[in-house]
Amino acid sequence: MKPVSLIQFLIEERRAGHINAELSLLIEVVARACKRIGVATGKGALGGVLGEAGTGNIQGEAQKKLDVISNEILLEANAWGGHLAACASEEMEDPQQIPDGYPKGQHLLLFDPLDGSSNIDVNISVGTIFSVLRCPDGVTEPKAEHFLQPGTTQLAAGYVVYGPATVLVLTFGHGTHEFTLDREIGSFILSRRGIRIPESTGEFAINMSNQRHWEAPMQRYIGELLAGKEGPRGRDFNMRWVASMVADVHRIVTRGGVFYYPLDAKIAKQGGKLRIMYEANPMAFIVEQAGGAATTGRQRIMEVQPSGLHQRVPVFLGSKTEVEVATRYHLEADGAQG
Ligand code: FDP
């Protein structure tokens, strides 16, 4: 079969009525920016881009030079095309307006420019995550409140993993599809159409060092997985934790599995570890479109009404059966308490 480029795929999606010309352009622009981020991360120590930037982001986390560079690449690429009303990023407290003199479009773009920051300097896969929303009618200078739409309203979501290969995974709500960057010709080529995540799995991803801080239902659930064949689940489970959400999610999208970042006593006050608008929601959309499930442990992630641009939530996502068992344990525990 002839290879299908991202551009050709986008034209087909337009013809199928899944996206309009503006959203197609937006995705092209984001994909092009991600190629540049991939080049910057690929230079490693030779690019002079490793290490701390000496600044902090809105979450109070130290920014790496590549966090800042990736943010700038995405902002610059998206400023002038006329497809956006505004963008918001993990790296900026408030939304970024389109500079004066450029036309504005109907879309809002949210992104985590470089997810998995702690892995940059050690040459482990990192990635970009993005989500696209419609700008509410009549709003010309979108503020944070205009971005606060539940994940079910997303028009598109995607991530790019900068790993041994650079891979883009994308959904418009009509299945989840994967594109691999052909570095010789510089194009993303469709490598998997209509990805399906197996319903059951024997592989889970979690930061086990937080175990003692978890809530009781999480302790129970993971305890049962660790008990293996001799335990109540009657099978052995394997564990993986890359500590780059994009890489862990990409493994799940490729061979199944589940990813958990549950609530724990250390992060209870902030509501979770991962950000809903540009991490949890886009990943939930991608995973659901591939037949998986995504909850906070208590509720479908995409149905949460966000209350802040940088709001955090617990994340349970991947193979349906496991997410459902873990979620049921939390709801049962809540019911027993109430
Ligand atoms: P990071 O802080 O390095 O950017 O986005 C948050 C995130 O990485 C995820 O990519 C990753 O899954 C998780 O945090 C890693 O958390 P731990 O440090 O607890 O392992």
3-state SS, 50-66, equals: CCEEEEECCCCCEEEHH
Residues 255-274: what's their mean pLDDT? 97
CA of 244 to the centre of ligand 1 (A): 6
Token pair in block for residue 126: 């990192």
Q: Answer for the pair 316, 299: CB distance below 8 angstroms, yes or no.
A: no
CA of 246 to the centre of ligand 1 (A): 10
Q: Is the pLDDT of residue 52 over 80?
A: no
Does the beta carbon of 116 lie inside 6 Å of ligand 1? yes
Query: What is the rounded distance in angstroms from the CA atom of residue 97 to the CA atom of residue 82?
Result: 12
Q: End-to-end CA distance of the chain, in Å? A: 58
CA of 33 to the centre of ligand 1 (A): 23
Residue nearest to atom 16 of ligand 1 (CA): 243
Does the beta carbon of 59 lie inside 6 Å of ligand 1? no
User: Which pLDDT belongs to residue 46?
Assistant: 87
Cβ neighbors of 61 (< 8 A, separation 6 or more) are 117
User: Which pLDDT belongs to residue 324?
Assistant: 98
Report the nearest atom of ligand 1 relative to the CA of 209: 19
Query: What is the rounded distance in angstroms from the CA atom of residue 304 to the CA atom of residue 153?
Result: 11
User: Which pLDDT belongs to residue 62?
Assistant: 65
Cβ neighbors of 163 (< 8 A, separation 6 or more) are 125, 247, 250
CA of 124 to the centre of ligand 1 (A): 13
Does the beta carbon of 70 lie inside 6 Å of ligand 1? no
Pocket test for ligand 1, best of 244, 246, 251 (most atoms within 8 A of CB): 244
Query: What is the rounded distance in angstroms from the CA atom of residue 117 to the CA atom of residue 207?
Result: 16
Residue nearest to atom 12 of ligand 1 (CA): 245
Does the beta carbon of 262 lie inside 6 Å of ligand 1? no
Does the beta carbon of 225 lie inside 6 Å of ligand 1? no
Place of tokens 């999208």: 253
DSSP 3-state of 295: strand
User: Which pLDDT belongs to residue 326?
Assistant: 98
pLDDT, one tens digit per residue, over 18-50 is 999 999 999 999 999 999 999 999 998 887 777
Vertex 110, ends 105 and 115: CA angle to 5°?
150
Report the nearest atom of ligand 1 relative to the CA of 118: 3
Q: Percent of the chain at pLDDT above 70?
A: 97
Identify which has the larger pLDDT, 308 or 59. Answer: 308
Mean pLDDT of the chain, nearest integer: 95
Report the nearest atom of ligand 1 relative to the CA of 90: 5
Residues 63-73: what's their mean pLDDT? 88
Does the beta carbon of 244 lie inside 6 Å of ligand 1? yes
User: Which pLDDT belongs to residue 337?
Assistant: 79
Q: Is the pLDDT of residue 60 over 80?
A: no
Instruction: Determine how β-strand 96-97 pairs with β-strand 84-89.
Output: antiparallel
Query: What is the rounded distance in angstroms from the CA atom of residue 150 to the CA atom of residue 173?
Result: 15
Q: How confident is the model at residue 292 (pLDDT cuts 50, 70, 90)?
A: very high
Report the nearest atom of ligand 1 relative to the CA of 248: 12
CA of 3 to the centre of ligand 1 (A): 35
User: Which pLDDT belongs to residue 198?
Assistant: 98
CA of 101 to the centre of ligand 1 (A): 38
Residues 253-259: what's their mean pLDDT? 98
pLDDT, one tens digit per residue, over 136-186 is 999 999 999 999 999 999 999 999 999 999 999 999 999 999 999 999 999
Pocket test for ligand 1, best of 59, 273, 277, 311 (most atoms within 8 A of CB): 273
CA of 121 to the centre of ligand 1 (A): 14
Report the nearest atom of ligand 1 relative to the CA of 61: 2
Identify which has the larger pLDDT, 91 or 337. Answer: 91
User: Which pLDDT belongs to residue 229?
Assistant: 98
Query: What is the rounded distance in angstroms from the CA atom of residue 25 to the CA atom of residue 17?
Result: 15
- DSSP conformational letter for 320: H
Instruction: Count other Cβ atoms within 10 Å, centred on residue 165.
Output: 13
- Give residue 122's Cα distance to chain centre: 21
